[in-house]
């Protein structure tokens, strides 16, 4: 039962980390109460994603020396500290950027890689499915936080007070959960030295990075602007808020279902997931004025987006070995950080220029389509991923 306890602890940690996907819930209040622009708040979100991914690279190496439990606990401390700092900002942009964008973003990076790597080691025969289950909590965390924060803000609680409670409660949950993250005995003294020259010269590394960038660029563009997109599409405020939860539900389900799919069909799941996301994005413009259709399509976009966080991790484990995930996957995951800096900002900037989110949504759909074709052609005729083994 030990590995199932570790899986439960991993889910709890991921739920706390996934609260960042509820960021758009705070945008209207921060704009109305403190005069912060939408662009500046998207910069905060973009910084969070960027520092999340950059920190993962160092966290992977740190965990190899000091253990997953210590690394995840440090992440919990940083996450809580960042939100508490933001709660003391009095609505000023710089402290919010430093607290949530930098410090909490780094905290997510320290904690995120640990449940992912450790669950693959405990369940080596079901890399895709178990990876999906492990990170499903990240998508579910947005549902939890958006619902709770929405109720608190609706009842008049100051947004900075909400930040303070997020910091205190999430740190109190992550730190004790991190204690349970121990590796199987056969990995206790097994450290992998990576041949980075060989890694960066391998085509599969760049193919996986391209797919992850394209899918997360599209998803983050929508996540970072989700509520404003709903309002611009003449959707009711209630439905725009509800769409945040349905996107998160689709995201969480997508992580599990795509994990099952990749275990069944292998690398064909990579272009298939991008195609699914492309179709969902292309359908979004027809939802204007329809609350129900907007909610459904957002769930489908979330479903396609959720695949990004299981497919590429599972392929990394299948290609390089489960014990190398904490070192190699963060390097592929940097593509997500780049999309975090670019995606939400592009969506907001195009809206500022055109007064419409349709051009940016269609551009994201086109990027997914092109990447799906490139990756499909790469994998065409390949029975399995070419092995690029660590040394």
Give the integer Cα–Cα distance in Å for 303 and 384. 25
| CA angle, 191 then 193 then 197, to 5° | 160
- Comparing CA positions, the residue from 317, 292, 279, 299 lying closest to residue 127 is 317
Give the integer Cα–Cα distance in Å for 53 and 119. 19
- pLDDT (tens digit per residue) in 2-50: 878 888 888 899 999 988 878 878 988 999 899 888 888 878 988 898 8
Residue with token string 């709903």: 230
Q: Are 131 and 307 contacting, i.e. CB atoms less than 8 angstroms apart?
A: no
- Comparing CA positions, the residue from 185, 194, 193, 56 lying closest to residue 122 is 185
pTM above 0.85, yes or no: no
Q: Are 44 and 96 contacting, i.e. CB atoms less than 8 angstroms apart?
A: yes
CA 31 to the chain's CA centroid: 24
Q: Which CATH number fits domain 2-379: 1.25.40.10, 3.30.460.10, 2.60.120.460, 1.20.1250.20?
A: 1.20.1250.20
Give the integer Cα–Cα distance in Å for 114 and 59. 8
Give the integer Cα–Cα distance in Å for 357 and 320. 40
Q: Are 24 and 145 contacting, i.e. CB atoms less than 8 angstroms apart?
A: no
Give the integer Cα–Cα distance in Å for 73 and 382. 41
Q: For residue 288, is pLDDT > 70?
A: yes
Q: Where are the domains of the chain?
A: 2-379
- pLDDT (tens digit per residue) in 64-87: 778 888 999 999 999 999 999 999
Q: For residue 189, is pLDDT > 60?
A: no
Q: Looking at 241-255, 270-284, 306-320, 377-391, which range is the least confident one?
A: 377-391
Give the integer Cα–Cα distance in Å for 208 and 325. 14
């Amino acid at each position: 039962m030990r590995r199932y306890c570790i899986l439960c602890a991993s889910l709890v940690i991921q739920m706390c980390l996934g609260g960042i996907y509820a960021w758009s819930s705070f945008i209207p209040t921060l704009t109305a109460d403190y005069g912060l622009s939408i662009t500046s708040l998207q910069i905060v979100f973009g910084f969070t994603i960027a520092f999340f991914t950059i920190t993962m690279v160092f966290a992977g190496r740190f965990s190899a020396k000091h253990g997953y439990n210590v690394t995840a606990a440090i992440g919990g401390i940083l996450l809580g500290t960042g939100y508490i700092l933001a709660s003391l900002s009095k609505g000023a942009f710089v402290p919010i950027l430093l607290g949530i964008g930098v410090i909490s973003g780094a905290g997510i990076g320290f904690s995120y890689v640990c449940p992912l790597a450790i669950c693959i080691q405990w369940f080596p025969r079901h890399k895709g499915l178990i990876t999906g289950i492990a990170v499903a909590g990240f998508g579910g965390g947005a549902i939890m936080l958006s619902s709770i924060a929405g109720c608190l803000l609706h009842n008049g609680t100051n947004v900075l007070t909400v930040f303070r409670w997020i910091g205190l409660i999430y740190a109190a949950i992550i730190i004790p959960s991190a204690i349970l993250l121990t590796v199987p005995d056969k990995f206790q003294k097994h450290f992998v030295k990576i041949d980075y020259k060989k890694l960066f010269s391998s085509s599969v590394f760049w193919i996986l990075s391209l797919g992850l960038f394209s899918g997360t660029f599209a998803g983050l563009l929508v996540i970072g602007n989700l509520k404003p997109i709903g309002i611009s599409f003449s959707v009711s405020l209630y439905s725009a808020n509800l769409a945040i939860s349905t996107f998160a539900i689709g995201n969480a389900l997508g992580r599990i279902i795509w994990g099952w799919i990749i275990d069944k069909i292998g690398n064909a799941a990579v272009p298939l997931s991008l195609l699914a996301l492309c179709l969902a994005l292309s359908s979004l413009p027809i939802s204007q004025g329809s609350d129900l259709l907007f909610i459904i399509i957002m769930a489908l976009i979330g479903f396609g987006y959720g695949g990004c966080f299981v497919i590429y991790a599972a392929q990394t484990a299948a290609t390089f070995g489960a014990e190398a995930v904490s070192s190699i996957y963060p390097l592929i995951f940097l593509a997500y950080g780049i999309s975090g800096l670019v995606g939400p900002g592009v969506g907001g900037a195009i809206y500022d220029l055109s007064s419409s989110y349709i051009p940016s949504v269609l551009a994201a759909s086109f990027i997914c389509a092109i990447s799906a074709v490139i990756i499909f052609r790469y994998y065409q005729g390949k029975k399995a991923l070419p092995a690029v083994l660590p040394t």
